[in-house]
Amino acid sequence: MHTPSPERLRARHLGKSFPGVTALDDVAFTLRTGEIHALMGENGAGKSTLIKILTGVYRAEAGTIELEGRPFSPASPREAEAAGLSTVYQEVNLIPTLSIAENILLGRQPRRMGLVQWGAMRRQAARALERLGLELDVRRELRSISIALQQMVAIARALDVQARVLILDEPTSSLDEQECQALFTIMRRLRDQGLAMAFVTHFLDQVYDVSDRITVLRNGRLVGEFATDQLPRLELIGKMLGRDVSEFAPAPDAPPATGADAPPARIFLQARDLGRKGAVQSVDLSVRQGEVVGLAGLLGSGRTETARLLFGIDARDHGSLEVEGQPAAMRSPREAIRRGLAFCSEDRKTEGLAPNLSVRENLVLAMQAGRGALRRLPRAEQQQVADHYIQALHIKTPDAETPIRNLSGGNQQKVLLARWLAMQPRLIILDEPTRGIDVGAKAEIEKLVGSLRERGLSVLFISSELDEVLRVSQRVVVLRDRRKVGELEGELDEQRVLNLIARA
């Protein structure tokens, strides 16, 4: 990027505050023609607010925006889109009950004499997906495909408009490596065609992989704008966290705490030939006391489905399950909880949060359910538990009575973790515990897993990020096509796992 290309989007002196919080203060942001521009910052840095102003969800209280030299202040996402600015959001913001084709073309369906042409629409949608290298039956309902695919559909939708500016708000948070690369290929192609893209992500690798420039925000203020190739990784992290680089060293890959020579702990949970029609074919799995077992595999390999069987959400068709040597029917989550299991779902929104209830209530819910309806946890004790975990897990919330929907994703995740930790479970199943949360919170959660293990807790760790699985686990069970294909212990490295996954 020697000669800066012309500016396509230019925001100056943006300010926005909400009762009690200044979300943006004198922030500038520039997007140039044909670039991928990473927008970086910790949670609460103001990225979301900035994006929502650009896309017309909020209105700025101060400052100006120009799109291709003309003043631009969209009153709604519709106006923004009409002016040439499209957005892909972190949480898939599509209509789960409609078909893929409609989701791509809703609002601009091909029409003849005012009537929607379904055939033409399906073809156009299929073409839009083809551009992303995807082949899907576009008639399928959106909710019947994985979240990753849904995200691709969202991208296809955003690209289908003749967009001048594309904003990608954490589009990769639920994509696996292969899918990410497919997306990046597309992004590069679009860049070469002159599209201006703003890219928000928590993955540093991806920033360095694909972006040309970086804008860093912190606490609602602009830290600076940098060329990617001139900003070393550590420096970037330092700028995001507002710390000196020297005090922040990369986390060493902690070796497994229990040496190979120590006597193996007792097996807590043992599953044999676990399966359910349409979900899991056959999985053997054991977790020892104080052991972190990783569950690796591509999306759709049956990781979450296995967890659901273990936790009694779905009933298994075949196979056996033993907890501490006792056969367990696992007919309901209640039974699982009674047997000392806990399950932190990957889908915070629909399976985790009670959004309108307070942090405290969300936190004590499982604990209270364990005690039963009649033995109510006294209010003071609830408060104590809530305060304890808010402090212990560094949950950022004004107080324990705030509705949990007002918290950021990372903090919501911590509350859900705390919900289960408060139960003092023997085994906790963490399904994608770090999805959609920032670097700092991610590291905290990884650290937490380690400390749980030291306290003798067993953990079943599920994540799409292989390096993360390898970092925290002592043993990794690899799934492919809804069955177990291998198990690795001791020397864990990425190549061995990938080999197992890839072995046809």
Partner 1 sequence: MNRWLNHRTLPLLATFGVLVILYGVASMRYEGFFTGRVMANLFADNAVLGICAIGMTFVILSGGIDLSIGSVVAFTAVLVASLVGPGGWHPVPAMGLAIVLGGLFGLGQGWLIHYFALPPFLVTLGGMFFARGMAFVVTKESVGIHHSFYDMLLSMHLGLGGRATLPATALIFLLVLVVAVGVSHFTTFGRNVYALGGNPESARLMGLPVAGTRVGVYALNGVCSALAGVVNTLYTGSGNPAMGMGLELDAIAAVVIGGTLLAGGVGFVEGTLLGVLIFGTIHSALLFDGRLNSWWLRIAIGTLLLLFILLQKEITRRATAQARPGT
Partner 2 sequence: MSGSTPNKTEPAARRDGGASVPAGRARDAAWRRVLWPLLSLGVLLLFNLFFAPGFFHLEIKDGHLYGTLVDILNQGSKTMLLAIGMTLVIASGGVDLSVGSIMAIAGAAAAILVTQAAWPFLLVVGVCLALCALIGAGNGALVALLGMQPIVATLILMVAGRGVAMLLTDGQIITFDRPAFVFLGNGHFLGVPFTATIVATVLALTTLLTRRTAVGLFLEATGDNETASRFCGVPTRAIKVLVYAFSGTCAGVAGLIAASNIKAADPSRVGEMMELDAIFAVVVGGTALTGGRFTLAGSVIGALLIQTLTTTMYNLGMPPAIAPVPKAVVVVLACLLQSDKLRSGLRIRRTRGGAA
Partner 3 sequence: MKHTSSPRRILAAGACALAALLLAGCGPSSESSGPGGQGDSGQGKVLLIGFAQVGAESAWRTAETRSIMEEAVKRGLDLNFADAQGKQENQIKAVRLFIAQGVDAIILAPVVETGWEPVLQEAKRAGIPVVLVDRGIKVADESLFATLIASDFVAEGRMAAEWLATKTGGTASIVELQGTPGAAPAIDRKKGFADALTSGMKIIASQSGDFRRTGGKEVMEALLKVHPNLTAVYAHNDDMALGAIQALEEAGKKPGTDVLVVSIDGVKDAFEAMVAGKLNGTVECNPLLGPLALDAVLKAVQGETLPKRTIVPDRLFTMDMAAAELPNRKY
Which two tokens mark 15? 């300010």
When binding is defined by CB under 8 A, the residue of 28, 98, 354, 443 that contacts partner 2 is: 354
When binding is defined by CB under 8 A, the residue of 66, 79, 177, 314 that contacts partner 3 is: 314
When binding is defined by CB under 8 A, the residue of 311, 330, 428, 430 that contacts partner 2 is: 311
Q: Is 18 in the site for partner 2 (CB under 8 A)?
A: yes
39-58: contacts with partner 1 (CB under 8 A): 55, 57
Question: DSSP 3-state assignment of 323?
Answer: strand
Would you say 458 and 425 are in contact if contact means Cβ atoms under 8 Å apart? no
DSSP code per residue over 74-116: -SSHHHHHHTTEEEE-SS--S-TTSBHHHHHHTTS--EETTEE
Q: How far is the CB of 112 from partner 1 (least distance, A)?
A: 10
Q: Is 248 in the site for partner 2 (CB under 8 A)?
A: no
Of 461, 470, 471, whose CA–CA distance to 497 is shortest? 470
Dihedrals φ, ψ of 99, to 5°?
Answer: -75, 165
Of 216, 155, 147, whose CA–CA distance to 190 is shortest? 155
Binding mask 263-302 for partner 2 (x = CB under 8 A): ----------------------------------------
Dihedrals φ, ψ of 178, to 5°?
Answer: -65, -45
The residue range among 76-84, 122-130, 313-321, 366-374 that interacts with partner 3, by the rule CB under 8 A, is 313-321
When binding is defined by CB under 8 A, the residue of 15, 17, 286, 450 that contacts partner 2 is: 17
Q: What is the CA radius of gyration of the chain?
A: 24
Q: Which is nearer to partner 1, 276 or 303 (CB)?
A: 276
DSSP code per residue over 435-499: TT--HHHHHHHHHHHHHHHHTT-EEEEE-S-HHHHHHH-SEEEEEETTEEEEEEESS--HHHHHH
Q: Is 314 in the site for partner 1 (CB under 8 A)?
A: no
Q: How far is the CB of 178 from partner 2 (least distance, A)?
A: 30
The residue range among 87-95, 280-288, 347-355, 485-493 that interacts with partner 2, by the rule CB under 8 A, is 347-355
Dihedrals φ, ψ of 411, to 5°?
Answer: -75, -35
Binding mask 398-437 for partner 2 (x = CB under 8 A): xxxxx--xxxxx---------x------------------
For residues 100 and 122, what is the distance between their CA atoms, to the nearest angstrom? 9
- Residue 322 is classified by DSSP as E
For residues 348 and 419, what is the distance between their CA atoms, to the nearest angstrom? 13
Binding mask 450-479 for partner 2 (x = CB under 8 A): ------------------------------
Residue 284 sits at the vertex; the CA angle it makes with 283 and 290, to the nearest 5 degrees, is 125
Q: How far is the CB of 310 from partner 1 (least distance, A)?
A: 22
Q: How far is the CB of 418 from partner 2 (least distance, A)?
A: 13
When binding is defined by CB under 8 A, the residue of 28, 227, 257, 369 that contacts partner 2 is: 369
User: Measured in Å, how far apart are the chain's first and last C-alpha atoms?
Assistant: 42
Q: State the residues that interact with partner 1 by CB under 8 A.
A: 55, 57, 76-78, 80-82, 87, 89, 93-98, 102, 106-107, 109, 111, 114-116, 118, 137, 139-141, 144, 157, 277-278
* Residues at the site binding partner 3, with contacts judged by CB under 8 A: 313-315, 331
Chain residues binding partner 2 by CB under 8 A are: 16-23, 43-44, 48-49, 52, 58, 311, 313, 332-334, 337-338, 343, 345, 350-358, 360-361, 364-366, 368-377, 379-380, 383-384, 387, 390-391, 395-402, 405-409, 419
